[in-house]
């Protein structure tokens, strides 16, 4: 869908050239060089490898930033970005990150987590879980629900760090409010126990119970950073699902290498169903169903 300005340009072109293409005319000139420059910048600052097929997506999302900053060309906007406008860098990264998530996504992982929690609780006084791709909060709150059910308590000996590079989604996660359709597939008893149903102006929405929210701390983390001061170790369980698919193999390896000293020797790393860390076999050993342990763990 084009915006009003683009439609006017298309109409004007059709009027003067009856044989002109009916495809929408872009509001801003966007060259292959512009796209390559964007790819280079997002890779350098967030480690994200944009495929060539993402050119239309990049244009659509960044065109909004040109309008917001009153620029008429991508050259101008990218030059502004490179002048180290910290706020705009954050918005640039937020614009190009994708945040697809849901409650109890890849449900088998939470069954495995429950068994692991019960196993380590015998010797661990405080258990730490890190969700490194919190998005809008569905995954970290699913972890909190799983933890409460595993210990049959709203005050389990567990703390959850939920991080993301996108500050917009972290703000949404912190509010802990979701449309009913987001929790529609959840069992009714689980829904009653862990959510408050909205009424009046809030009808059609649910809020995560305060007891559950207390278990989760949201913070911004760029996995490309040399250090992650907001993620204190040691970590018992790491969820890094559907994140590595945005990085090339060398970047994945460097991130996984930094995971190793943070994760306890008997800790678990959970990946997404389409991800494989076989290229980092010296760092992590597969246990099946996209769950990994440290390769140096003594069996």
Q: Which residues are catalytic?
A: 61, 164
Work out the number of other CB atoms within 10 angstroms of the CB of residue 141: 27
- Give Cα separations from 209 to 82, 104, 175, 182, 191 (angstroms): 43, 17, 11, 16, 10
Instruction: Report whether 215 contacts 140 (CB < 8 A).
Output: no
Query: CA 89 → CA 10, 93, 148, distances in Å?
Result: 32, 6, 38
Token output for 226: 């040399």
Q: What is the CA radius of gyration of the chain?
A: 22
Distance CA 129, CA 116 (A): 12
Q: Which helix (H) or strand (E) holds 35?
A: helix 32-46
Beta bridge partners of 163: 219
């Amino acid at each position: 869908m084009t915006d009003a300005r683009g439609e006017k340009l298309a109409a004007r072109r059709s009027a003067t050239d009856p044989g002109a293409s009916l495809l929408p005319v872009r509001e801003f000139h966007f060259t292959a060089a512009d796209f390559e420059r964007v790819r280079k910048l997002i890779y350098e600052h967030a480690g994200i490898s944009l495929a060539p097929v993402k050119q239309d997506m990049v244009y659509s999302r960044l065109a909004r930033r040109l309008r917001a900053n009153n620029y008429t060309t991508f050259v101008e906007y990218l030059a502004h970005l490179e002048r180290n406008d910290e706020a705009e860098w954050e918005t640039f990264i937020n614009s190009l990150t994708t945040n697809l998530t849901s409650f109890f996504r890849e449900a088998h992982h939470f069954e495995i987590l429950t068994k692991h929690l019960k196993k380590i609780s015998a010797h661990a006084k405080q258990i730490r879980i890190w969700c490194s791709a919190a998005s809008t909060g569905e995954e970290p709150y699913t972890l909190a629900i799983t933890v409460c059910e595993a210990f049959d308590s709203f005050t389990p000996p567990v703390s959850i760090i939920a991080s993301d590079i996108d500050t917009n989604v972290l703000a949404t996660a912190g509010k802990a409010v979701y449309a009913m359709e987001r929790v529609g597939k959840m069992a009714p008893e689980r829904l009653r126990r862990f959510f408050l149903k909205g009424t009046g102006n809030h009808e059609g929405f649910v809020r995560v119970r305060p007891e559950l929210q207390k278990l989760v701390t949201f913070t911004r983390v760029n996995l490309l950073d040399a250090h992650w001061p907001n993620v204190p170790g040691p970590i018992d369980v790491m969820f890094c699902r559907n994140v590595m698919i945005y990085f090339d193999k060398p970047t994945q390896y460097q991130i996984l290498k930094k995971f190793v000293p943070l994760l306890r020797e008997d800790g678990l790393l959970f990946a997404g169903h389409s991800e494989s860390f076989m290229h980092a076999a010296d760092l992590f050993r597969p246990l099946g169903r996209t769950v990994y342990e440290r390769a140096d763990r003594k069996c």
